[in-house]
Amino acid sequence: MLHFEQLHIHGGKAIVKSILSAIPLAAESNGIKSNAQNIRYAEPGEFTRRAFYNNRLDLTQVEALGDILSAETEQQRRIAVKGSSNVLARQYESWRQQLLYARGELEALIDFSEDQHFDESPSRLVGSVKKQVRGLKAQLQASIGNASRGELLRNGIDVAIVGAPNAGKSSLLNCIVGREAAIVSDEAGTTRDVIDIGVDIGGFYCKFGDLAGLRNKSSDQEVMIGSIEQEGMRRAKERALVADVVVAVLSVDLSSDHNGFSMATVDVNPEVAATLRLCDPIKQAVVYVINKIDLVASSENIPKLQVLLQKQISDNDLPLSPVPILVTSCTADLHSRRVADGIQQLLESLIVLFKEMTATSDEGSVAWEVSLGATERQRLLLEQCLKDLQSFLDQGDEDSDNQQLEAESIDIVLAAESLRSAASCLARVTGAGEAANVEEVLGVVFEKYLHQDCISLS
């Protein structure tokens, strides 16, 4: 049986078809009986599947290889390459071995407690196992946190641009992506639906969402808010509340003071403020941007506007920003110096924020950095493992200082079963679990593989 992993061919589809049709002839000329029925395209991921079954790769490495093939940004490539090593698999296997050892100690109490003499009393043995499980639980929690951060890099950081109508949200989006991705008009309410644009910022894949402007009837009595615009605002609020980063765009307004002189101010729209207050301060970051700064006559007044906005943020109990209040100007000329400086400052601030959001737990180990490459499937199994460990710890009187009473209150059979289930989750992460589960995972992973012009001769 002959196998060709890949054919690297210069030319178009006609060249490829011609070479594929010539392969049977080449086989026959070398004394190999072959016909069209013996030749087939290799299925997506077939050779990787064989590597897995021959223990050349574990399931975490197979998933990482799929992520490498689909990586679009530098950060996605980096975490995928880190995940392609067997560091994660060794870490999971180490945890599984700890659970197997702990489970063995408990099951020894079940089978031999009446016949054998143990070096430790049952109470001390149970206490020792619980101490091990608590330590393992802390490591799992850190690994799950890192995996969640890694998903931001892999799936993209969701950024929602919110603000009042005509605040310059669409103009800001166009400046960020460097092209006219969204329609810009002086007419309020031009954007009615969510406009999603994917862009690479400093190696981070981001999904920017330009949302409909938020306003209420009391804020603009002269303009009727139709059903379409109301639906657009509903979707805008819904999207803002699930975004990873919310960019609140607030425009400079010109008003007259008591002497009739023009004065630049900035105000937070009540509807925008209400939406920002609903954001989760733990899971979401809010960035404030003062737009249309070109309307300010003197640059000396810009810090005053920033102070004014900071006071409104505090007075209205709005989420605090992890970065300073930024200022931008989105004029018709996307390449003007003033536009470029403001946009560049915004992008640099976002990159700093993205790095903080995706930083690993500081555990001083290569495994923790590599855990960023853990996939959603791995994270879900780790979370189930964590639940099983918590179920074990919930056995007995957790608040009791008397180890003897605690040991007597534990159902050893149920406790051992919790550890068995937790160890099974870790085995399934690396592909050492049930065969049916492994087949399902491989099927999902290989669906992502790009089909190569690979053939198999049998």
Q: What is the DSSP annotation of 70-130?
A: H--SHHHHHHHHHHTSSHHHHHHHHHHHHHHHHHHHHHHHHHHTTTS--SS-HHHHHHHHH
- At position 217, the amino acid (one-letter code) is K
From the number of C-beta atoms within 10 Å of its C-beta (0-12, 13-18, 19+), residue 255 rates as: exposed
Task: List the beta bridge partners of residue 201.
Answer: 204
- The type of residue at 420 is R
pLDDT given at position 247? 92
pLDDT at 36: 53
By three-state DSSP, how is residue 164 classified?
A: coil
Q: Which residue has the tokens 């399931």?
A: 59
Contact 346, 289 (CB under 8 A): yes
271 vs 213, 220, 242, 305, CA distance in Å?
A: 9, 12, 17, 21
The span from the CA of 241 to the CA of 233, in Å, is: 12
Whether 267 and 250 have beta carbons less than 8 Å apart is answered as yes
Phi/psi at 69 (5° precision): -65, -30
How far from the centroid of its chain's Cα atoms is residue 274's Cα? 27
Strand 39-41 to 455-457 pairing: antiparallel
Q: pTM for the whole thing? A: 0.71
Instruction: Pinpoint the alpha helices (H) of 156-268.
Output: 169-177, 227-240
Q: Which candidate, 356, 324, 343, 71, places its Cα nearest to that of 208?
A: 343
With beta carbons less than 8 A apart as the criterion, state whether 330 and 168 touch: yes
Query: CA–CA separation, 308 vs 311, rounded Å?
Result: 5
The residue type of 410 is I
**CA 264/CA 305 separation, integer angstroms:** 8
Residue segments in the chain with a per-residue pLDDT below the cut of 50: 185, 334, 399-401, 403-407, 435-436, 450-458
Number of CB atoms found within 10 A of residue 54's CB:
8
Maximum C-alpha span of the chain? 101
